[in-house]
Amino acid sequence: MSGGVDSSVAAYLLKEHGFDVVGVTLKLYPEVSRCCRLEDIEDARRVAHFLRIPHYVFDFTEAFKKEVVDYFISEYMGGRTPNPCVICNQKIKFGLLLQKALAMDAACMATGHYARLVEENGGIYLGQARDTRKSQEYFLAFLPEEVLRKTLFPLGDYTKEAIKKISRQVGLPLRPKEESQEVCFVPPDDNYVSFIKRHAKVGNRAGTLVNSRGEAVGSHNGFFYYTIGQRRGIGIRADCPLYVIGIDPLKNIVIIGPKSEAYAKGIGVTLVSWRKGDGSFLLSAKIRYRQIPAPATVEVKGREAWVQFEEPQFAPAPGQIAVFYEGDKVVGGGKIKVPMD
């Protein structure tokens, strides 16, 4: 329970359906951040008191720093584009927290995520929520079936507006909160680059901007200022907008080019979760949360996948999360290793 409308209504709905509900809030990061603050804990405690359910606070700061924050920093310093929310769900919320819940004799764990569980041929799969604009299955794609079998998503069949309406009707004691799409542990008055520089203890590192032919066209203050697909902040005048199309962290080189050069027909992926075995599959895939799944042929052998899209995709970046769908259910997910022609 974060003290926000989604997790608060999820707890209310479970209680209304007869579940014996216990509220849990996680303390994850000691610095000033966008979530897990003292006021968030108090918000959650106030809602739990209103609902007349027990409330606990678990301190996972050490594990969160190791599994999520350090991962985020090391990926950026390796020239990759991480998604810390996916890793947090995998390692912390549906990892450590689920273990803690089961140790407390809980039958299952529920969250305020917008997602659904799909049962098919005796298997349990992750599916998109009814409110496709808010559906968060992309961030949950690394969860294995054994975790899904111990999980509930009470909001999966509701729209966001319906959840807000329930909150008002019930009179949940909620403070107004702005929803943020930013990384939760980067303070609101900070940015990724300064956060990474501060925690990685690195300063500016003068490097070279090159085009796709390897010709020097400018300079920069460090490859970690850039991510693949980035347009703003390149600082080079040209006849057309320029984008980051490659990063070489070892040589401190950033490759730039027109938007047409940022597209790739395929990607190589290291799978973290996969439900279909080896072979060739006609599926669809997302490489970004807000993207509509794109049709693709996926060749799988072991934990490696090679993906060929029907249409070239914009700026697939090493480190990004690729999620694979069969219809509206998730059949796997992994980390992009390399874009391919």
Same-domain status, 137 and 24:
yes
Residue 257 has pLDDT above 80, yes or no: yes
Q: Whole domain around residue 63: which residue ranges?
A: 5-170
Residue 102 has pLDDT above 90, yes or no: yes
Residue 181 has pLDDT above 70, yes or no: no
Which comes out higher in pLDDT, residue 37 or 325? Answer: 325
Which comes out higher in pLDDT, residue 192 or 287? Answer: 287
Same-domain status, 117 and 253:
no
Same-domain status, 163 and 15:
yes
User: Tens digit of pLDDT for each residue in 26-49?
Assistant: 999 876 555 667 788 999 999 999
Same-domain status, 212 and 137:
no
Which of 224, 243, 261 is the C-terminal boundary of a domain? 261
Same-domain status, 138 and 229:
no
Q: Looking up tokens 């808010």, which residue turns up?
A: 134
What pTM was estimated for this model as a whole?
0.94
Q: Which is catalytic among the residues 85, 108, 184, 240?
A: 184
Is 108 in the active site?
Answer: no
Average pLDDT over residues 181-200: 85
Q: Which pLDDT score is estimated for 316?
A: 97
How many C-beta atoms lie closer than 10 Å to residue 258's C-beta?
15
Which of 170, 188, 209 is the C-terminal boundary of a domain? 170
Average pLDDT over residues 105-133: 96
Q: The domain that contains 102 carries what CATH number?
A: 3.40.50.620
**67 contacts 91 by C-beta, under 8 angstroms:** yes
Which of 230, 261, 292 is the C-terminal boundary of a domain? 261
The mean-pLDDT minimum among 144-153, 175-184, 188-197, 246-255 falls in 175-184
Q: Show the 3-state SS of 138-205.
A: HHHCCCCHHHHCCEECCCCCCCHHHHHHHHHHHCCCCCCCCCCCCCCCCCCCCCHHHHHHHHHCCCCC
Establish if 24 belongs to a structural domain. yes
Q: Which is catalytic among the residues 35, 36, 85, 88?
A: 88
Is 88 in the active site?
Answer: yes
Q: Which pLDDT score is estimated for 35?
A: 60
Q: Which pLDDT score is estimated for 32?
A: 59
Q: Which band of pLDDT confidence, cut at 50, 70 and 90, is reported for residue 300?
A: very high
